[in-house]
Structure formats: C-alpha cells, structure tokens
Structure 1
Amino acid sequence: MSSILIWLLVLMTATLCAGIWIGPALIGTGIVLIEMFTSLPTHKVIANWAFNVLTSSDIVSLPLFILMGELLFRTRLSQSLFSGIAPWMSFLPGRLFHTTVIGCSMFAAISGSSAATTQVVGRITLTELLNRGYDKGLAVGSLAGAGTLGFLIPPSIPMIIYAVLAEESLLRLFTAGFLPGFALAFCFMAYMGARAVIDPKLVPADDRTRWSWTDRLRSLIELGPVAFLILTVLGTMYAGIASPSEASAVGVIGALLVAAFQRSLSLRGLRDALLGSVQTTCMIGMIVVGAFIVGTVLANLRVPQFVSASITSWQLSPFVLIMFLMVFYILLGTVLEGFSMIVLTLPIVLPVVLAAGFDKLWFGIFLILTIEMAQISPPVAFNLFVIQNITGDSQTYVAWKVVPFFLIMILFTAVLTVFPKFVTWPVDFILSR
C-alpha cells in the first residue's frame, strides 16, 4: 500500500515540476496507477468516469456561474457598489474602509470567484480610498482579505468542485457558507474599526463628506442591480423555484439584463466573456476529471482506508487532527492554488476526517476557508497578484499588509472547529422548513 502512495507522490511531483498543467498531470497519474496496480481496462473506465463526473447535475452549473462572473466583470457594477455603500459608512469608525469588505461581500453573493471579487471591487474602492488619503496598508490588506469571501459566500466555484468530488448536496453547501461568510466579513470590519479608533491617522481628517438622509436613500438605487442579481440567483434557489444548475442559468440572464441596463457590454465584451468562460470551464473541468480518476483508483485500491487506519493509530484527538490539517493546508497553499489543493487531497483526507467524527458538510466549509488562506499565502497567491496589478506594489509589501487578516482567518477557522453548529445549524434551520 505504501508503494502506491510513493508512486502517487513521485508521479505528481515529476509532472508538476515538469511544468505540466494540473489537469493533464492528474489524468496521466491516474492512467499510470490503473495500468500498474489494477487490471481494469484503462480506455473504458477513463471514458466512463469522465462522462459520469462531467454530466452530474452540480457540475452543470459551473460554466454558467463562471459566465455570469465574466459578464459582471465587464459591467459598471463596481462603481454602483461604491456609490451605494459609501453614504452609509459615515456612522462607523473607519468610515470608507468598510466599503471594501461590504462591497466584496455583496459581489461574492453573485460571483463564485475570489480573484474576480478582488479585481472588480478593488479597482474602484482601492482607488477611491487612496485618492481620499486613507491609509494604504490597511486598504490593501482589507481588499486582499475580503476578496477571499468570493469563495465562502455562495455561489462559489470551489463549493461546486467540493460538492461533486465529496458527493455532497450543493444547495446544503451553499446554505452552510452564508453565516460563516458574513461573520468573517464582520470580523474584518471589527478589526478595521478598532484600528481606526486606536490610530485615528489611518482615516484622513479632511474626509468629512456629509450625506443627508435623502442622499443615503437615493444611494440605494445604485445597489439595485446587485440586489436584483442576488434575488435572481439565490432567491430562486431558496424559494424552490430553481435548482442550483437552473439558478445559474437564471443568473446569466440577470447579468445580461444588468449589462444591457447599464449599457456597458459591447459585442467584443460579450465575445471576451464567452471565450473567458470557456477557457476557465475547460481548465477546471479537466482538473475535476483528473481528480475523480485518481480518487476512484485510490478508492478501489483502498488507499484512503489505509491512510485513515494509519492516522487513527496515532490516537490524535479530533481537534488536534483538524488543527494539523489546517497547518498542512496553509503550508500546501504556499505552493499550490486552491483548486489543486481540493482535488489532490480530498480523496485521501475526507475519509480520515469522517472517521474522526467530523461532518462532511462542516469539513467542506473548513476546506473552503483554508483555500481562502491559500489565496493570500505567497508565493502562490492569486489575490496578491491581482492587487499588485492594481497598485503596482511588490508582492512582499502586499503580503505583509494582509498578515492581520490572515491571522483573523486562522482564529475564525479555529472557532468554527470548536463550534461546528455555527456551520450546520443554518442548514438544518432553513432547508428543514
């Protein structure tokens, strides 16, 4: 059994070091494992497994959610978010700092991409904050941290991948992400507010824009497109009108209507959105197929059971085990991006976690949180790259500024481990009705 794990490690390391994309690397590794350790007809089982995973009901929603994000990226939604949120921030310590976190939270509820959330919200809010004299370090750190909410607040592309590979209900997973997502956003805002109270110089003294209640009420019109899309996508799912895959199609129609209303989508923009969604979908689809092949081969060879029994023999408490996994994923996130972390580890890690008594639904949220940390863990940190492109700063500078938000995420994950009902209770409360 250990020889299988050694071959798996050697093959994956060799293919990735050779510069082969993660999808083909996984598929090639799966084929080699089938040929070496099983008597299965490779060409038949590969075709059968690929067809099964790519035609599952949950994976069908993937290209449509990606297309919705691509369309929204080309609208003026970021300007609308800032204009709608800013007048309401004068009540809070830190004032306009909070527009970044709230803007990312709202955009995350209509886009499943962390990088898209960071770029769409950041290109307006970060520019506005710096032009008004707000502290650059805190602004950059908050954008990097809040941008990761695109993975935790549904709809979420990594949640779709997890639901397919773990055979978990996508609607249950979406529901479980709401409360932790917005609670994490609140933690970010509380930290920024506390920093502003302790050091008032972070907020410019001359930024004393006065908004009347009439201005605030008018600003709600700017949030109309976002509210429309949230109701279109999430509202149809939880009202029982549409399944997640059907809601993704409704979301694309809603995004087209918003783009038409704002007159911000040209034919060239539509072509770029379609091309971008096809490229991203093909990349993710190949990764999912490869992961499913490797996972199925390992399951047939009873590798997960072997690893689970070995770890059980260590007699670790469940809390120590999950903290060990958090450290493992944080370290893994320094060399791999989020999707690769899911597909490479889930076939082996999930049986171990379930054997320790953890809920599959809860572990999905835990895994999404660790992937969020990977988004801001250098050197492989997509959110940091996005912010670099916006500000022109070095990745080292951006990475240092995001450290407080990274620590908040670690503490938040630890709290969810101690209180798992924080994740599972909303699912039982909402979907049981």
Structure 2
Amino acid sequence: MMELHWVAAILVGALFLLLALGVWIGPALLAVGIVGMYLSDAPAGAILATTSWSSSASWTMTALPLFIWMGEILFRTRLSDDMFAGLAPWVERLPGRLLHANVLGCGIFAAVSGSSAATAATIGRISLPELKSRGYPESLAIGSLAGSGTLGLLIPPSIIMIVYGVAAQVSVARLFIAGVVPGLLLMLLFSGYLVVWSLLNRGAIPVSSHRQPLGERLRATFRLLPVVLLIVAVIGSIYAGFTTATEAAAVGVVGALVIAAAGGSLNRATLMASLLGAVRTSTMIFFILLGAAFLTSAMSFTGLPAELAKWIGQAGLSTASLLIALTVLFIVLGCFLDGISIVLLTTSVILPAVQAAGLDLIWFGIFIVLVVEMAQITPPVGFNLFVVQGLTGRDIFTVAKASLPFFLLMVVATALISLFPELVLSLPRAMTAR
C-alpha cells in the first residue's frame, strides 16, 4: 500500500472534488470510501454490506425520525404565535424589550424540535414581522434570530446529538442532559448582549405604548402551557430515568399530535406534510450516516485515524491547542458543509486523538455541537443564514454581518465550557448517580 500521506491527499482531494462538482454528500462519502478500500486492497462490496446494516440497525437511532417528526408537527401549528403572545408581556420591561422574545422563543422551541433551521423558521415567521412593524433595529432582529435559532442544536432533544452519540458510541440521554446548562448559558449571553446594546443605544429601541396588567399577562402566559408541559414530559422523563431517549421521542410525538389537535391545526393535509417532511429529513441523514460509516471503515483499513492519533500524541499538543485547532477546523468545514455532515465526516478521525488527550466524550460532544452552531451562521453555507434570508429577503452577507456578535458570543460560550467543564458534566454525573 502507498504511503499514508499520499492516501490522505487522495481521499481529501477526491472528497472536495466531488463536493465541488455538486455531488450529494451521502454518495460523495460512499465514493471516497470505495477509493479508500481500493487503496488499502480491502473487499469494498462485503464491507459496504455489513457497514450498511451496522450503521442503521441501532435502537438509539430510532429516536432520530421520531424527534424530527415531532418538530415537523409543531412547525405546522400556531406554536410560534402562542409563544410570542405568551412571552411578549414579560420582556416589555427589560432593556431590549421584544428582542428577547427571539431568544426565549427559540430556546423554548429548541426544546421540542431538535432542528436549528426549524427553530429559526418557526420563531422568525411571527417575530420578524412584529419587530419590523414596531420599529426595532433590523440588524438586531435578524442577528438575534439567526443566532438564537442555533439553540435547536444544543438544547435537547437535539438531532445532531443523536448522530454524535451513535457515531461516538456514548449515551444519547446523557448528551441531552449535558446540553441543558450550556444551552441556558448561551441564552443568557444572547439576552445579556441585547440588554447591554440597548442600554448603550437607548434611542434605538421603541418605547412601549401599552402596559398590560398582571391578569392579562398571566392569561397570555397560559398559551405557553402546552409546550412547557411537552418539554417537561420529554426532558423530565429522561432525566428522571423513566424513559430512554427513544421512548421520550415517542412521548414527544404523541404530545405534539395532542397540541396540534387541540389548536385545530391537525388535519389530513398537515399530518401527511409532517410525515413526508420527517421521512425526507430522516432519509437524508441516514444516507449521510451510511456513507460516513463506510468511509470510516475504509479509513480504518488505511490506518489514517491511528496514525493521526499517534502524530498528535508525539507532537505534544496541549489540550487547549488541540481544541483551538479543532475549533478552527470545524468553522472552516462549516463554510461548506452542514452540521450533521461535519460530525459524521470528522468523528472517526478525531476521536482517537480526543481520547488520547484525555477529554470526556460527553463533554466533547457538547463542544462539537457548540462549534457546529457557529457554522450555522458562517457564510456561504450557514443554514440559518439561508433561513433568515428567506424570511427577510436580505442578502446572505447582510444577515451574516448582523449575526456576527452572536457568533462571537458562541466563541465565548465555547471558551467557558472549556475552562469550566462542570458546566457540561455536572448534570450527567448527577443523572448517573441517581
């Protein structure tokens, strides 16, 4: 077999060539895997057959289409209207006022969707027109929505956490619980920025013309009750140990159907649309997962992951240097690939090095999600940028510029969990100790 550096160059070159030609990510990964098998003289056909089965025959992975379906159902309800109406009265007196509804609304919807794009689209379709009609700064409205929409990846249940958990062979339930505190931390940073900006630019935020009495605010808050109960049912059942992630996903689907039926938005058309949306998204993810698993097998035959881990160990990189290097790598990849593809493409290569550095794989999963969140608002392929662009009609670079402060706040959050790992690990450890 040829030298490893030539093997690596051929595989990387083949992958970027296929992606540049517009080949879908799943087939591109399969094709590069075949090239890797050929270079290592491995039986590609037999390994593809066994890899296809082993990568999909996972009980944990059944949670993926269920959580996607739950988000698709809720996306077609009046949930965004209810959340804005329920949150608006309580943020009126905060500096920044209704801008906080973007952050809080995205945080709440993230806890029942698991998708970054769906979170931004659902909240944005009601919040952006409201904020525009009331005279709020467009850049803050756009930036806070694009940034807060990424919470769909971090706050459980998260689709990308399920993908990482299967790829890294760690508990998805523990990953979900590990994402709670970092998710709340990121929401706090976003709202804190809005407060500081508003205090420094007092004339830019419109003055409230109506103060609702307490009774009205409480009545509006009742519109949040269904989604809050659904969050408690899904996340609370996992934390209490009553359900696995897959069982909690089934509970979530039933709860989403009940909410849709109670709100009058559940009919044959919306049910079929939600099912087809879930099937399309799930099939795409499973195809990418299959391609990534096959490429992983091919790379193991070439010996590249083991050699990379050995090189990193001999290079004497500190943990901080390794994390900085990986952060830059993920952000660069995020300019061209979606988050799930990034995780599946890199996990097999970097996990040996991560384990050699002594990093906890649960903590590293949250680290990856945070960095992939940054990729969601980096041009030219940041998915949230496209979603917000579609809602506003602004060009993608205007949206990216408005999102920049929130990108930097994600960098701060990543630094904080690196300096204080207990922000991530305290709840999973408490869960294990129960």
Same-fold call, TM > 0.5?
yes
Could you tell me whether the CA contact under 8 Å between 2:174 and 2:428 is conserved in 1?
yes
d(CA) in 2 for partners of 1:280, 1:58: 17
Query: What is the rounded CA distance, in whole Å, between the counterparts of 1:228 and 1:418 in structure 2?
Result: 34
1:152 is aligned to 154
Residue from 55, 64, 68 that aligns with 1:62: 64
Instruction: Encode CA deviations 1:109-143: one digit per residue, 9 max, x unaligned.
Output: 00110000000011111111111111111111100
CA contact (8 A) 1:111 1:117 kept: yes
Bigger mean CA offset, 56-65 vs 107-116: 56-65
CA contact (8 A) 1:298 1:304 kept: yes
- Where 1:49 maps in the other structure, the secondary structure is helix
**Mapped pair 1:28 → 2:31:** yes
Q: 1:45 Cα shift?
A: 2.2
Amino acid aligned to 2:237:
T
* Partner Cα distance (1:174, 1:93) in 2: 32
Deviations 1:281-327 (A, max 9, x none): 11100101111111123234332110112223322211111111111
Conservation of the 8 A alpha-carbon contact between 2:137 and 2:205: yes
Q: Aligned partner of 2:15: which letter? A: M
**Partner of residue 171, structure 2:** 169
Aligned to 1:76: 78
Pairwise mapping of residues 252-401 of structure 1 onto structure 2 (< 5 A)? 252-401=253-402
Between 377-386 and 352-361, report the one with greater CA deviation. Answer: 352-361
Q: Which amino acid is the alignment partner of residue 417 of structure 1?
A: S
Match of 2:132 in 1: 130
Instruction: Kindly indicate whether residue 113 of structure 2 is the aligned counterpart of residue 111 of structure 1.
Output: yes
SS of 1:95 mapped into structure 2: coil
2:95 aligns with 93
Residues 31-64 of structure 1: per-residue CA shift (max 9 Å, x gap): 2322331333x33322222112212122111111
Q: Match for residue 49 of structure 2?
A: 47
Whole-angstrom distance in 2 between the partners of 1:343 and 1:17: 19
Is the CA contact (8 Å cut-off) linking 1:54 and 1:60 kept in structure 2? no
Distance in 2 (alpha carbons) for counterparts of 1:243 and 1:217? 34
Displacement over 3 Å in runs of 4+: none
Alignment check: 8 A CA contact 2:334 2:372 kept: yes
Which secondary structure state, in structure 2, belongs to the residue aligned with residue 94 of structure 1?
coil
Deviations 1:122-175 (A, max 9, x none): 111111111111111111110010000000000001101100100010011101
SS at the partner of 2:100?
helix
Q: Which moved more, 1:375-384 or 1:243-252?
A: 243-252
When residues 222 and 307 of structure 1 are mapped into structure 2, their CA distance, relative to the original with a 3 A threshold, is same
Give the C-alpha shift of residue 338 in structure 1.
1.0
Check conservation: 2:331, 2:371, Cα contact below 8 A: yes
Q: How many angstroms does 1:244 deviate by?
A: 0.7
Note if contact 2:334-2:376 (Cα within 8 Å) is conserved in structure 1.
yes
| Aligned residues of 1:23 and 1:288 also touching (Cα < 8 A) | yes
Q: Give the match's secondary structure for 1:19.
A: coil
2:388 aligned partner, one-letter code? I
Q: CA deviation at 1:421?
A: 1.7
Take 1:159 and 1:372, find their aligned partners in 2: how far apart are those partners?
12
Matching of residue 16 in structure 1 with residue 14 in structure 2: no
Structure 1 runs not aligned, ≥5 long? none
Please tell me the residue identity of whatever aligns with 1:240: G
Which whole-Å CA distance do the structure 1 matches of 2:34 and 2:111 have between them? Answer: 38
Provide the alpha-carbon RMSD of the alignment.
1.3
The letter of the residue matching 1:299 is S
The structural deviation recorded for 1:223 is 0.3
Distance 1:310 1:140 in 2: 43
2: CA distance, partners of 1:127 / 1:411: 30
- Give the 3-state SS of the residue equivalent to 1:313 in structure 2: helix
CA distance in 2, matches of 1:213, 1:39: 70
Mean CA deviation greater in 117-126 or 227-236: 227-236
Aligned-pair identity (%): 44
Higher mean displacement: 71-80 or 349-358: 349-358
Using the TM superposition, name which of 292-301 and 209-218 deviates more.
Answer: 292-301
The equivalent residue for 1:180 is 182
- 1:405 maps to a residue whose letter is F
- Deviation of the 1:431 alpha carbon: 3.0
More divergent stretch after superposition (31-40 vs 46-55)? 31-40
- Tell me if structure 2 keeps the 8 A contact 1:338–1:374: yes
Deviation (angstroms), 1:96:
1.0
TM-score by length of 1: 0.97
Per the alignment, residue 233 of structure 2 pairs with 232
